[in-house]
Amino acid sequence: THGISLRIQISVKEVLDTDVLLKLLFHLPVNYPSTLPDISVNSGQLTRAQCMDVKDKLLEQAKKHLSEPMVHDLILWVQQHLKDVIKQSAAVCNEKTTLSKGTEDGIWMLLLHLDHMRAKAKYVKTVEKWASNLRLTGRLMFMGKIILILLQGDRSSIKEYLILQKTSKVDVDSSGKKCKEKMMSVLCETEVQSQHKRFQTFEIKEYSTLEELQKEFETAGLRTLFLEFVLPLFK
């Protein structure tokens, strides 16, 4: 009913003849190939901006193959053209840096996964207080045993929140003593893109089904984020 997702990892020779490991996620909707797939690109050797450029170029290519199976063609294309995309990306990046400070001042987004909350009421109040003080908006989301924190705001405030989350005694251990958060993982930290909707407030929400949680992400234009980082938590 939701289509299928493919994770594909490929190695590509880059400009300096070093291997770049690309992790590609294709989500093929139910009516693929008459509808374009959602594409996500990640690589430890490329910057977030370069990954976004590769994704944009792949979507451009996908439009040329509309109504015909395209995943294999897109992989061949990226293997042949990665060098050019990276060179182009570097040129644009240098130009932007000259014109401004770059993206440091933009609006950023952070998605965290918490393993548990023993002192839930106190923990929730603390998160609300930090979000308010740092002028961050978003959601604290509970779905079964899964706990997610999704935040949007100035990059400096996002960084400050992360420090607070890691260094403050926000919960209690099994013996009831105050303790720091040691079971948190950062699922995603990225600049807010034009297709993402801005949250106006910070809210605490509980969801009874995975579909409800997915709808929350899709309403905010974060479908790819949900498919790539949230859905695997339930598998």
Average pLDDT by stretches of 10, the chain with 235 residues: 87 73 90 90 82 90 92 93 79 49 66 89 91 93 94 90 85 79 85 84 94 93 92 87
Q: Which residues contact 196 (CB under 8 A, 6 or more apart)?
A: 109, 220, 221, 222
pLDDT of residue 15: 58
Domains and their CATH numbers in the chain: 4-92 (3.10.110.10), 107-234 (3.30.70.100)
CA–centroid distance for 32 within its chain: 23
**Residue 153 to residue 159: CA distance in whole angstroms:** 10
Q: What is the pLDDT of residue 125?
A: 92
Which residues share a beta bridge with 42? Answer: 23
> Residue 65 class from Cβ within 10 Å (0-12 exposed, 13-18 middle, 19+ buried)?
middle
d(CA 185, CA 191): 18
The predicted structure's pLDDT at residue 98: 43
